Chain A
């Protein structure tokens, strides 16, 4: 127990654990609405777009976080505008946006003074790199994401659950969808030091998927999703410290492990009751 607390002696670990807590809360809070809308993979696309921002930051030898924030938010708005047109080419346009973001990021980063070595930290997370400045930004964004997703939960729920009905009842569906996309973009940025932009989508989806195995209501799914998100992201950072593994991958594997355990437990319970 005492040995376990030793990791708190390190400044970088304290920062990493706080960042993990923040992304563990923010990702499922947004993810639940994406899952409800059947857009679970939109976070993945936004992560790809954010890579161009990260690479721009590296190229200009400046902090990548603000650049990632700008490109992810711009990407989020673009995605909703493209989707709203419901054209046949919308899906192709989204694919170009996502992979253009990844391709652009890789090319830009290769020209950076530090080379593309550093890009990997942002793609898959790294516990040693969260600065005090990053942490302040992440805390601000995470609080914003939580406040908006809880404050607007009724509108976000209505639109995600039945967008035709929401339109009939006079809700500004397009604006609410843009808000949700921007919240997803902010979550991608909060995740970039710990989970990494390529893996954050898993943290938006898997804790929610785990919660819906046991919950009976949307509210319960939300609460359980946040608890699972925090547990797996904090535990993943601890595991990655001791096992010397990248935190993003550790967090995602833990999340899927928890899902599998809950899935087996609930189905065993059902079999026994039969």
Chain B
């Protein structure tokens, strides 16, 4: 029997003992899911909850039918964080950054040549082949986002979790990211993407989950979603986009357990 890629039962996620979002859901293989909601709605916290990056205060998370702690094959799941820059204080080339996406893989199995090929393929998939040996810090913000997407793909992931991939990214880079995502669909990829507006991936989305105030208000096909919920994010600059919680707590959505 096949398990859902991600199954959350009575999930309560947050920081320390403060619940920021509650959700119960299953994401099946090949679904393209948009997690929509305004800043502070808890969508980033929910995505991080699926990866074990925030505190799970209640409920359970299963990945491919296994409890999160027991699930070892993390290279199946690629994560693209919402970060304006992937550059640290030490120069790092695009290739070095992308290669770090393979560090979590089991050491046995693939040869060095296969690893190099996977890294080159991932860089080509996001259209950065001509930048492979450039320091990441010399890239634009949108190109850095593409490099982080290549990092998520380099480990051979067929499940991709992205946090606001279009926020603060110019049109050309938005389309490059959307094209790279669309190219994954024929291969049977599962994609979960946090957005505050649908943007260029709208045609691909098979399911929308709308959040506000830390809970799920709608879960279903985009066509049936109440327009009111889809436009929650439009209070904000549609193409600029403020960081949703900027890696910390969604303070707006915090409420006591």
Contacts and interface: CB of A to CB of B under 8 A. Distances in A.
B257 to A, nearest CB: 20
A222 to B, nearest CB: 9
Contacts of B240: none
Residue in B92, B97, B104 with the greatest tally of chain A CB atoms within 10 Å:
B104
Interface string B63-97: 00000000010110101010000101111110011
Contacts of B155: 169
Interface in B86-117: 86, 88-93, 96-97, 99-101, 103-104
Contact of A161 (B51, B53, B92, B135): B92
A166 B151 CA distance: 11
A219 B53 contact: no
A154 B119 CA distance: 14
B247 interface: yes
> For chain B, which range describes its interface: under 10, 10 to 19, 20 to 34, or 35 or more residues?
20 to 34
Given A38-B89, A216-B135, A217-B135, A154 B99 contact: yes
A186 B161 CA distance: 39
A109 interface: no
Residue in A32, A158, A161, A220 with the greatest tally of chain B CB atoms within 10 Å:
A161
B133 A161 contact: no
Given A155-B103, A216-B135, A217-B133, A168 B79 contact: yes
Nearest to B101: A169
Nearest to B89: A35
A116 interface: no
A221 B72 contact: no
A215 B91 contact: yes
A208 interface: yes
A212 B53 contact: no
A169 B102 CA distance: 9
B35 to A, nearest CB: 16
B104 A166 contact: yes
A169 B53 contact: no
A36 interface: yes
Given A36-B88, A169-B101, 4 more contacts: A161-B97, A165-B81, A167-B52, A218-B91
Interface of A: 32, 35-36, 38, 154-155, 157-158, 160-162, 164-171, 208, 212, 215-221
